[in-house]
Structure formats: structure tokens, C-alpha cells
């Protein structure tokens, strides 16, 4: 699902991002439906031998072909020129850039490298959803992803001494939340709220953690959604902890409201809250990308203003 793009950071400061990110050629190997709204696409490719996912909520930027194209092509993948060359392409030919989470990276018994990415299916109006819905084996795309595991696109960073983890995610951030749960150690205490649009989107989330998960099934995506989420959170008890760490991701307005609730009403240290707006109600993905390019996106730093 959509995540903060390493490609955006590279576009703003290419020299600083070179060591962390590079282009990878990915080929669709297979797809699998996970629930009403989720489709897993498994990618392979020789270049994945150099892919270094840091796990947790690791993001990467996908370049998806237009509907009339089978594969992604770019005029340049050079770190100094790709962004300008991509932006200069005609609208009808320019690949759609979207950010997603690495659900899992693995090496098969045969020695091949694979990467799973989970897509939310929400109609033909979304270029990424539309592409995923028609993805078939052999289709090739390009991605900017991690070349080192310790990279700044892994945002789940609980400080030493954390004794409980609080999580909120909507469907766009659920793959990231699932990847986090998958890597938590045995016995880690977790209280999580996951918001999804349909009953059968409550997918199985393997974890060794001691995880108490509340599913919020959304009746509609309208303006009242944030209030419904806050009502559920206010009615919930939190694990007794002296140093909780909160990870919040999803629709930007709801994410901000959940953060305010935890900091102001639950006295969670604001420096121990990591929040990321994956999308914003009433704004297109292209508008949000334009804001990111212009450096106008809200700060995600834990100590930024509420």
C-alpha cells in the first residue's frame, strides 16, 4: 500500500539518497487474492540479488506502465537524470509512480530472490489498483528500492526501553503493519487497531508478539470516519507501560487525529510516536506527489507540532 516514497526523497536530494536506493527491474511471477480488498503480487528478477529490504515498514517506489502498455520503460535510470527525464515524458506515456511497502523479501530454495507487495483494490479510478488487477506473469516494471538494509525508508524505529507498541493502520497501511507484526520478537506487547472497508479484509496476521488486535470495519469512507476511529480508541484500554511506542499510518487526517488522541488524552510521549499519512481524503495521489516534490508535505518527525 502507499508509503512515503524513497523516490521522492531522491528527487529532492539525489546525492544523499544514492547510497540507500537504486533502480531495480521487477517481473511479475504470480498473484494471489488475500481478501475482498487485497491482492498480493510476487515479483522476481535477477536485480533482486542486490535488493536489501530493512523489513518492518520498508517502502519502495514502483513505476507502473500506462493501461495500453505491458511493461515499464523509462528514458533514464541514471541517478542524476531520471527524475527530469521521467517528468518530461508525455502524460499518456509516463509511468505512474506510487509508493508501496515490501510485505516480504525471501530467497527460494532454488536460490531465486522474490519480493511480495500487497495492493489495495479499490476500482479502476486508481492507476495502481487498476494495474494490479490486470497483472499477469511476465509483466515487467521498474522500482526504486533499498540497496542497503539500514535506510531511511524504514520508519518503524522503537527506541531502546520500549515496553509496549501501539499501532493504528487503515487498509493502505495494513501491509506495513503486517510486516511489522511479522518481525516482532516473541512476547512483545502490542495493542493495535486496524481499519478496513469489508468484513473479509480481516486477514490473518502471523506474529510471535502478544498482540491484541481490534478490527474496525468501516461502513463508508466519508468525513465521519475519523470520529468513528476515535470512539473505538477512547473506549479501549491500553497496556500498562512506562515507555510505549506508537506507529500510526493511513489517511492523513485520521492519522493526525489518532496522534493527538494518544499524546493529549493518553499521555504518550510525542517523541515516541511515528506517524505517516499514506493518503489524504479529498486529494488525488498526483496532488500529493506534487506537494512532496515541492517540499510541502507535513512533517513526519516525532517531535513535530500537533
Question: Can you give the pLDDT at residue 304?
Answer: 46
Q: 183 is in which domain, residue-wise?
A: 164-293
For residue 141, list its beta bridge partners.
26
Length of the chain: 306
Rounded to 5°, angle at Cα 263 from 262 and 264:
100
Instruction: Look at residue 175 and tell me if it is in a domain.
Output: yes
Of 146, 175, 198, which closes a domain? 146
Residue 239 falls inside a structural domain: yes
CA gap 7, 61 in Å, rounded: 6
CATH of the domain at 173: 3.40.50.80
Question: Is position 247 within any domain?
Answer: yes
Residue 186 and residue 98 share a domain = no
Per-residue pLDDT of the chain (306 residues; tens, 9 = 90+): 555 555 444 444 344 444 689 999 999 999 999 999 999 999 999 999 999 999 999 999 999 999 999 999 999 999 899 999 999 999 999 999 999 999 999 999 999 999 999 999 987 778 999 999 999 999 999 999 999 999 999 999 999 999 999 999 999 999 999 999 999 999 999 999 999 999 999 999 999 999 999 999 987 766 688 999 999 999 999 999 999 999 999 999 999 999 999 999 999 999 999 999 998 875 556 555 655 555 555 555 555 444
Q: Domain end: 146, 177, 208, which one?
A: 146
Please report whether residue 176 resides in a domain: yes
Question: Is residue 84, in this structure, part of any structural domain at all?
Answer: yes
Query: For residue 281, what is the DSSP state?
Result: T
Question: Is position 302 within any domain?
Answer: no
State whether 87 and 183 are in the same domain: no
**Domain end point (choices 146, 180, 201):** 146
Burial 31-48 (b: 16+ CB within 10 A, else e): beebbebbbbbbbbbebb
Does 211 lie in the same domain as 123?
no
The candidate with the shortest Cα–Cα distance to 31, out of 122, 100, 131, is 131
Same-domain status, 176 and 264: yes
Residue 46 to residue 269: CA distance in whole angstroms: 44
How many CB atoms are closer than 10 A to CB 227? 10
For residues 224 and 277, state if they share a domain: yes
Both 11 and 138 in one domain: the answer is: yes
Q: What is the 3-state secondary structure (H, E, C) of 226-241?
A: HHHHHHHHHCCCCCCC
- Joined grid coordinates for residue 142: 521498474
Query: Is 155 a member of any domain?
Result: no
Is there a single domain that holds both residue 180 and residue 215? Answer: yes
What's residue 15's pLDDT?
41
Write down the pLDDT at residue 280. 81
Question: Do 142 and 168 have their domain in common?
Answer: no
For the chain, how many structural domains are there in total?
2
**Interatomic CA distance for residues 155 and 174, integer angstroms:** 15
What CATH number is given to the structural domain containing 105?
A: 2.40.30.10
> Could you identify the residue written with the cell 500529493?
288
- Do 118 and 198 lie in a common domain? no
Whether residue 193 is found in the same domain as residue 94: no
Cell 477512547: give the residue: 234
Burial degree of 25 (CB within 10 A; 0-12, 13-18, 19+): middle
Identify the DSSP state of 287. H
Asked whether residue 298 is assigned to any structural domain, the reply reads no
pTM equals 0.87
Same domain, 137 and 236: no
What confidence score (pLDDT) does residue 132 get? 95
Long-range contacts of range 185-191, CB-CB < 8 Å, 24 or more positions apart? 185/209, 189/163, 189/164, 189/165, 189/239, 189/241, 190/164, 190/165, 190/166, 191/164, 191/165, 191/166, 191/167, 191/236, 191/238, 191/239
One domain, residues 177 and 119: no
Contact assessment for residue 7 and residue 97, using Cβ atoms and an 8 Å cutoff: yes
Amino acid at each position: 500500500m502507499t508509503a512515503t516514497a524513497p523516490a521522492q526523497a531522491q528527487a529532492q536530494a539525489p546525492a544523499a539518497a544514492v547510497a540507500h536506493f537504486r533502480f531495480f527491474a521487477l517481473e511479475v511471477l504470480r498473484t494471489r487474492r488475500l481478501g475482498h480488498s487485497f491482492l498480493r503480487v510476487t515479483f522476481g528478477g535477477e536485480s533482486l540479488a542486490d535488493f536489501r529490504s530493512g523489513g518492518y515498514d520498508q517502502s519502495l517506489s514502483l513505476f507502473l506502465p500506462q493501461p495500453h502498455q505491458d511493461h515499464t520503460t523509462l528514458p533514464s535510470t541514471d541517478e542524476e537524470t531520471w527524475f527530469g527525464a521521467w517528468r518530461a515524458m508525455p502524460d499518456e506515456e509516463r509511468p505512474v509512480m506510487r509508493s508501496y511497502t515490501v510485505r516480504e523479501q525471501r530467497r527460494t530454495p532454488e536460490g531465486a530472490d522474490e519480493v511480495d507487495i500487497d495492493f489495495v483494490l479499490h476500482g479502476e479510478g486508481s492507476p495502481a489498483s487498476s494495474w494490479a488487477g490486470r497483472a499477469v506473469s511476465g509483466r515487467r516494471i521498474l522500482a526504486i528500492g533499498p540497496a542497503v538494509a539500514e535506510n531511511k525508508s524504514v520508519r518503524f524505529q522503537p527506541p531502546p526501553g520500549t515496553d509496549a507498541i501501539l499501532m493504528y493502520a487503515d487498509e493502505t497501511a495494513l501491509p506495513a503493519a503486517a510486516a511489522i507484526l511479522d518481525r516482532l520478537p516473541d512476547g512483545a506487547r502490542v495493542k493495535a487497531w486496524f481499519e478496513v472497508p469489508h468484513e473479509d479484509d480481516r486477514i490473518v496476521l502471523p506474529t510471535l508478539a502478544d498482540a491484541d488486535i481490534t478490527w474496525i470495519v468501516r461502513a463508508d469512507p466519508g468525513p465521519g470516519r475519523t470520529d468513528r476511529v476515535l470512539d473505538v480508541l477512547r473506549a479501549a484500554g491500553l497496556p500498562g507501560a512506562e515507555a510505549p511506542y506508537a506507529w500510526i499510518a493511513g489517511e492523513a487526517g485520521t492519522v493526525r487525529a489518532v496522534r493527538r488522541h494518544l499524546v493529549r488524552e493518553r499521555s504518550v510521549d510525542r517523541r515516541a510516536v511515528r506517524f505517516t499519512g499514506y493518503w489524504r481524503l479529498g486529494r488525488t495521489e498526483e496532488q500529493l506527489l506534487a506537494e512532496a516534490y515541492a517540499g510541502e508535505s507535513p512533517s513526519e518527525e516525532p517531535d513535530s507540532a500537533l
